Amino acid sequence: MNAKIVIISAITFVVGIALGASLGQEQSVQMPQQSAETESVERGDTVAGSTDTRNGTYVYEGEGIQMLGPISLREGLTIIRAKNLTGPNDTFSFEVLKDENENGAIDSGEGYTGAYRSVAYAAAESYNGEIAFKADKTDYFIKVDGGRWEIDISQPEKQLEPAETPTTFEGTGDTVTDTFFLEEGLIAFRATYSGNSNFSITLMDQNGNSTRYLVNDLGPVEADVEYENVFSDNYVFVVTAGGPWTIEMK
Encode the chain (250 residues) as per-residue pLDDT tens digits: 555 555 443 333 333 333 333 333 333 333 333 333 333 333 333 444 445 555 567 889 888 899 998 999 999 999 999 999 886 667 899 999 999 988 888 887 778 899 999 998 888 888 999 999 999 999 999 999 988 899 999 999 999 999 999 999 999 999 999 999 999 999 999 999 999 999 999 999 999 999 999 999 999 999 999 989 989 999 999 999 999 999 999 9
Q: How many residues does the chain have?
A: 250
Closest CA to 94 of 158, 169, 153: 153
CATH of domain 2-25+159-249: 2.60.120.380
Architecture of the structural domain at 51-154: Sandwich (2.60)
Q: How far is CA 46 from CA 20, 42, 108, 140, in A?
A: 28, 7, 16, 11
CA distances to 37, 87, 107, 121 from 126, rounded to whole Å, are 26, 7, 32, 9
Neighbours of 51 (CB within 10 A): 13
SS3 225: strand
> Boundaries of CATH 2.60.120.380 in the chain?
2-25+159-249, 51-154
DSSP state of 232: -
CA distance 89 to 51: 24
Q: How do strand 2-7 and strand 148-154 relate by DSSP bridges?
A: unpaired
